[in-house]
């Protein structure tokens, strides 16, 4: 009887070789712009959860956050963060059966001199089923979706700020 090692090792090595050959690599840190070596995160009308999430993402990449605006080599302005909830579907009884959550954030990256390096608007949308009979559970689901949308927008922002 063959050992597990002799049965599984050759196909595993073949798969890894093929993946490496096609250019596949695991998603690691994002290589941010050089100007972001010391970034001041300024938030106008944004949640502390968002600024905390963006700060962590910058520090987990090749950038860092500045202790003050004076020390910064770049300023990342986050503004106009907004969540909205709209009715997506109404059942035959005339009651809401599905909502759509929308999340939007404007951002602008500038250097010390105030020159805008990059800017944009990020958007996320999520739908969820609604039932008046499960009000507590659905409010928790909406809260979870909002947190997930902030994480997704943070990832999108990091992709927008990477070196090209």
pLDDT in tens, 138-156: 788 888 999 999 999 999 9
pLDDT at 11: 77
pLDDT at 68: 92
Structure tokens at 141: 């689901």
Q: Give the burial string for 58-94 (b: 16+ CB within 10 Å, else e).
A: beebbbbbbeeeeebbbbbbbeebeeeeeebeeeeee
Alpha helices in 26-134 (DSSP H): 48-59
The CA distance from 104 to 45, in Å, is 12
- C-beta neighbour count of 36 within 10 angstroms: 25
Res. 134: pLDDT tops 80: no
Of 118 and 132, the structure prediction assigns the larger pLDDT to 118
pLDDT at 29: 58
pLDDT at 2: 65
pLDDT at 160: 94
pLDDT at 131: 76
Averaged pLDDT of the chain: 86
Q: Out of 28-37, 45-54, 64-73, which region has the weakest mean confidence (pLDDT)?
A: 28-37
User: What is the per-residue pLDDT across 71-122, written as a single tens digit (0 to 9) for each?
Assistant: 999 999 999 999 999 998 898 888 888 889 999 999 999 999 999 999 999 9
Overall average pLDDT of the 3-26 stretch: 66
Domains along the chain with CATH numbers: 4-160 (3.30.160.150)
């Amino acid at each position: 009887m063959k050992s597990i090692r002799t049965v599984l090792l050759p196909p595993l090595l073949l798969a890894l070789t093929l993946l490496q050959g096609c250019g596949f690599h695991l998603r690691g840190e994002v290589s941010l712009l050089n100007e972001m070596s010391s970034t001041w995160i300024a938030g106008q009308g944004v949640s502390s959860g968002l600024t905390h999430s963006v700060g962590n993402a910058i520090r987990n990449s090749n950038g860092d956050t500045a202790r003050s605006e004076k020390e910064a080599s770049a300023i990342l302005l986050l503004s106009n963060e907004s969540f909205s909830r709209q009715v997506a579907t109404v059942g035959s009884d005339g009651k809401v059966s599905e909502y759509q959550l929308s999340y939007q954030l404007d951002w602008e990256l500038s250097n010390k001199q105030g020159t805008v390096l990059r800017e944009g608007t990020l958007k996320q949308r999520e739908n969820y089923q609604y039932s008046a009979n499960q009000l507590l559970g659905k409010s928790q689901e909406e809260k979870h979706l909002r947190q997930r949308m902030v994480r997704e927008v943070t990832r999108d922002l990091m992709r927008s700020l990477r070196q090209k």
